[in-house]
């Protein structure tokens, strides 16, 4: 086993780097975590903009016909809680003292958030389009071996809303999110196993 200070304990900034051409022709070397953080920050701003708009609980019934207005407000609350999670999640991913597997799993929440493939598209359903992103992110944190105190606190403060939301949603939706998490965990185990050999 390699200790956090060993070859796997290096900063994720050093694991993946990419060169980007900026406005004006400048070239900048960016770490993948920087790109993920910047993209996630755009999503957070979008969620906050959508949260500031008048919320129509009826939009939830366009996706989930059996849910009530109260259910819709609970879902909205969980999505808004996602905005609190992004900063501490990025800090966790960057902290080289955390387990590499945990850091990669936490980074998968950023990846899921910014991917253009959605169970519910934001451009059509507004803030409700971030529901799968919120559930994925919170459920991924449950799988961390050693979550930070700040992540643990955010999950704990939203546990009731998360559990209520997961219970009210249809099986097809929850199965799709769980399948994404399971696939990510399997891929990470395979990648880490390859690095260790």
pLDDT tens for 138-157 read 999 999 999 999 999 999 99
Numbers of helices and strands, H then E, in the chain: 9, 2
Task: State how many domains the chain has.
Answer: 1
CB 185 within 8 A of CB 101: no
pTM: 0.80
User: Could you count the other beta carbons within 10 Å of the beta carbon of residue 168?
Assistant: 17
Evaluate if residue 180 carries a pLDDT over 50: yes
Q: Which domain holds residue 23?
A: 7-196
pLDDT tens column, 9-60: 333 344 444 444 445 555 444 577 777 778 888 888 899 998 888 888 898 9
CB 143 within 8 A of CB 87: no
| In a domain? residue 64 | yes
pLDDT band at residue 73, thresholds of 50, 70 and 90? very high
| In a domain? residue 1 | no
Angular region, 117: left φ>0, alpha ψ -120 to 50, beta rest: beta
| In a domain? residue 149 | yes
Predicted local distance difference test score (pLDDT) of residue 178: 95
What share of the chain has pLDDT > 70, as a percent?
83
């Amino acid at each position: 086993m390699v200790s956090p200070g060993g070859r796997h304990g290096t900063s994720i900034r050093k694991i993946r780097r990419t060169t980007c051409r900026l406005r004006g022709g400048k070239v900048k070397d960016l770490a993948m975590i920087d790109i993920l953080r910047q993209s996630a920050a755009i999503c957070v701003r979008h969620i906050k903009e959508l949260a500031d708009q008048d919320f129509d609980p009826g939009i939830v019934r366009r996706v989930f016909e059996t849910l009530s207005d109260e259910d819709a407000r609970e879902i909205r609350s969980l999505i808004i809680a996602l905005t609190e999670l992004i900063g501490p999640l990025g800090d966790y991913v960057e902290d080289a003292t955390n387990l590499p597997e945990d850091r990669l799993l936490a980074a998968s929440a950023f990846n899921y958030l910014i991917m253009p493939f959605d169970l519910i598209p934001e451009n059509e359903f507004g803030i409700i389009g971030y529901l799968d992103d919120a559930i994925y992110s919170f459920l991924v944190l449950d799988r961390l071996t050693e979550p930070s105190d700040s992540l643990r606190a955010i999950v704990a403060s939203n546990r009731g809303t998360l559990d209520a939301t997961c219970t009210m949603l249809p099986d097809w939706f929850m199965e799709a999110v769980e399948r994404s998490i399971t696939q990510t965990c399997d891929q990470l185990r395979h990648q880490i196993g390859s690095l260790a050999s």
